[in-house]
């Protein structure tokens, strides 16, 4: 069982879907129904939510088995289908940490569980931590696969998109940046920062769900070509010299090659990966594109990418304060799309 897993034991599968969705925003959540053979299945779980009628002896017996296998001290929240004396006595006998009415909103149940399993952490912080963990697993898998096999699995990236959009939407960009900036690996930290910025930008610009996913997908994979850059350069604990910078610049074309060879990536994602270092005045790389040849999703990602690089924590320099980084973007007149830079500044300052 994944560490921190919550178990939802339910006799209402329809409601269980919504509650599972809410709980899954703070921790992995497994659903067991009264039809499952539950005994012993809760070993190692962090918390239990019981949404069963405690007047049903079979449900109580199965729940007792779950509580026993979970071990002493595991929080148990009972959603009470009735508040009669027999139900409350059954909940007390099971050692319930908290009893809530059956119609309690899923996010309230989730906050109540959070107070037990991660005391002192706000819901926003928990949602961000979980989203960063899930998206982090995707980006780690992507970079490891690109480095070890030279290819990536387009389908595996999909699992990272909603956790990022949910995390910045519910937890806020500031929480996302603070959480992700604490990671040590520079490439991993950078990809998650750019993806979180792109997600927030896409939400603020009113993008459709499809377009949000597309931009976050592109942002998440934009630097996959760094998998082909020697680690001595990639993880150098200091600024790159001109020769190293030349090697590093190959990552844009490498990333494009990797994704074309892997297949399954749409033209927008391919364009972002190849062209996110192009500048409107033609001074960027690898193709020296200029003006109208650079599509909007690329322009958006470039802005997120430059901002992320400036505010990142590096071993050899302090992160640049946000306002200063925005000042750098605003100073790149002629190179960046200034209408988008101003919209991005509002996105960052509104967080
Ligand atoms: Fe890049
Ligand atoms: Fe980048």
- Separation of CA 163 and ligand 1 centre (Å): 23
Q: What ranges make up the beta strands (E) of 132-249?
A: none
Please name the fold of domain 123-349.
Hypothetical protein af1432 (1.10.3210)
pLDDT at 82: 85
- Separation of CA 252 and ligand 1 centre (Å): 6
Those residues whose C-beta lies under 8 Å from the C-beta of residue 84, and which sit 6 or more positions away, are: 55
Ligand in nearest proximity to the CA of 189: 2
Those residues whose C-beta lies under 8 Å from the C-beta of residue 288, and which sit 6 or more positions away, are: 278, 282
Q: Which residues surround ligand 1, an ion (CB under 5 A)?
A: 223
CATH architecture for segment(s) 6-117: 3-Layer(aba) Sandwich (3.40)
Give yes or no for a contact between 309 and 317, defined as CB atoms under 8 angstroms apart.
Answer: no
- Separation of CA 323 and ligand 2 centre (Å): 20
- Separation of CA 305 and ligand 2 centre (Å): 5
Give yes or no for a contact between 38 and 62, defined as CB atoms under 8 angstroms apart.
Answer: yes
pLDDT at 294: 98
- Separation of CA 125 and ligand 2 centre (Å): 25
Q: How far is the C-alpha of 152 from the C-alpha of 264, rounded, in Å? A: 10
- Separation of CA 187 and ligand 1 centre (Å): 10
- Separation of CA 301 and ligand 1 centre (Å): 10
Q: How far is the C-alpha of 225 from the C-alpha of 345, rounded, in Å? A: 28
- Separation of CA 259 and ligand 2 centre (Å): 16
pLDDT at 186: 86
pLDDT at 144: 94
- Separation of CA 220 and ligand 2 centre (Å): 9
Rounded alpha-carbon distances, angstroms, from residue 348 to 55, 125, 343: 52, 18, 9
Ligand in nearest proximity to the CA of 303: 2
pLDDT at 153: 94
Q: Which helix (H) or strand (E) segment is 78 a member of?
A: strand 76-80
| Helices and strands: H and E segment counts in the chain | 17, 5
Q: What is the mean pLDDT of the chain?
A: 93
Question: What is the residue whose two structure tokens read 């499809």?
Answer: 210
- Separation of CA 226 and ligand 2 centre (Å): 9
pLDDT at 347: 95
- Separation of CA 83 and ligand 1 centre (Å): 59
- Separation of CA 16 and ligand 1 centre (Å): 42
Q: How confident is the prediction along the chain (351 residues), in pLDDT tens digits per residue?
A: 888 999 999 988 888 899 999 999 999 999 998 777 645 588 899 999 999 999 999 889 989 999 999 999 999 999 999 888 899 999 999 999 999 999 999 999 999 999 999 999 999 999 999 999 999 999 999 999 999 999 999 999 999 999 999 999 989 999 999 999 888 888 899 999 999 999 999 999 999 999 999 999 999 999 999 999 999 999 888 899 999 999 999 999 999 999 999 999 999 999 999 999 999 999 999 999 999 999 999 999 999 999 999 999 887 888 899 999 999 999 999 999 999 999 999 999 985
SS3 240: coil
- Separation of CA 248 and ligand 1 centre (Å): 9
- Is the Cα dihedral 321, 323, 327, 328 positive or negative? positive
Give yes or no for a contact between 266 and 295, defined as CB atoms under 8 angstroms apart.
Answer: no
Classify each residue of 66-76 as buried b or exposed e, where b means 16 or more C-beta atoms within 10 Å of its C-beta.
bbbbbeeebbb
- Separation of CA 27 and ligand 2 centre (Å): 29
pLDDT at 206: 96
pLDDT at 40: 58
pLDDT at 207: 97
Rounded alpha-carbon distances, angstroms, from residue 291 to 131, 173, 178, 276, 278: 35, 30, 34, 13, 10
- Separation of CA 201 and ligand 2 centre (Å): 16
- Separation of CA 335 and ligand 1 centre (Å): 16
Ligand in nearest proximity to the CA of 275: 1
- Separation of CA 168 and ligand 1 centre (Å): 22
| Lookup: tokens for 63 | 């729940």
Q: What ranges make up the beta strands (E) of 117-260?
A: none
- Separation of CA 25 and ligand 1 centre (Å): 30
- Separation of CA 162 and ligand 1 centre (Å): 23
Whether the ω angle into residue 3 lies within 30 degrees of 0, i.e. cis, is no
Picking from 153, 118, 107, 117, the residue whose alpha carbon sits closest to that of residue 258 is 153
One fold for both 6-117 and 123-349?
no
Give yes or no for a contact between 145 and 151, defined as CB atoms under 8 angstroms apart.
Answer: yes
Residue extents of the structural domains in the chain: 6-117, 123-349
- Separation of CA 191 and ligand 1 centre (Å): 9
């Amino acid at each position: 069982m994944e560490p921190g897993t919550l178990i939802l034991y339910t006799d209402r599968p329809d409601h269980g879907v919504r509650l599972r969705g809410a709980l899954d925003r703070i921790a992995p959540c497994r659903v067991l129904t009264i039809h499952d053979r539950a005994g012993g299945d809760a070993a190692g779980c962090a918390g239990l939510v019981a949404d069963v009628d405690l007047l049903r002896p079979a449900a109580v017996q199965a729940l007792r088995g779950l509580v026993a296998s979970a071990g002493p001290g595991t929080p148990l929240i009972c959603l009470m289908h009735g508040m009669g004396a027999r139900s409350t006595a059954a909940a007390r006998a099971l050692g319930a940490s908290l009893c809530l009415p059956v119609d309690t909103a899923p996010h309230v149940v989730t906050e109540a569980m959070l107070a037990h399993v991660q005391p002192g952490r706000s819901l926003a912080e928990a949602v961000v931590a979980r989203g960063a963990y899930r998206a982090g697993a995707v980006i780690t898998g992507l970079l490891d696969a690109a480095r070890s096999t030279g290819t990536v699995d387009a389908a595996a990236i999909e699992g990272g998109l909603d956790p990022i959009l949910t995390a910045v939407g519910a937890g806020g960009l500031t929480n996302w940046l603070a959480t992700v900036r604490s990671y040590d690996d520079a490439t991993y930290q950078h990809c998650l920062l750019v993806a979180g910025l792109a997600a927030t930008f896409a939400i603020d610009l009113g993008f459709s769900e499809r377009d949000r996913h597309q931009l976050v997908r592109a942002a998440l994979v934009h630097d996959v070509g760094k998998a082909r850059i020697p680690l001595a350069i990639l993880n150098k604990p200091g600024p790159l010299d001109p020769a190293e910078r030349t090697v590093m610049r190959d990552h844009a074309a490498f990333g494009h090659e990797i994704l074309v060879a892997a297949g399954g990536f749409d033209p927008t994602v391919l364009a972002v990966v190849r062209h996110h270092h192009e500048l409107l005045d033609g001074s960027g790389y690898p193709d020296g594109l200029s003006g109208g040849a650079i599509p909007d999703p690329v322009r958006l990602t470039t802005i997120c990418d430059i901002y992320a690089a400036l505010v990142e924590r590096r071993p050899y320099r302090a992160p640049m304060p946000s306002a200063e980084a925005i000042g750098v973007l605003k100073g790149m007149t002629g190179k960046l799309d200034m209408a988008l830079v101003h919209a991005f500044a509002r996105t960052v300052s509104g967080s």
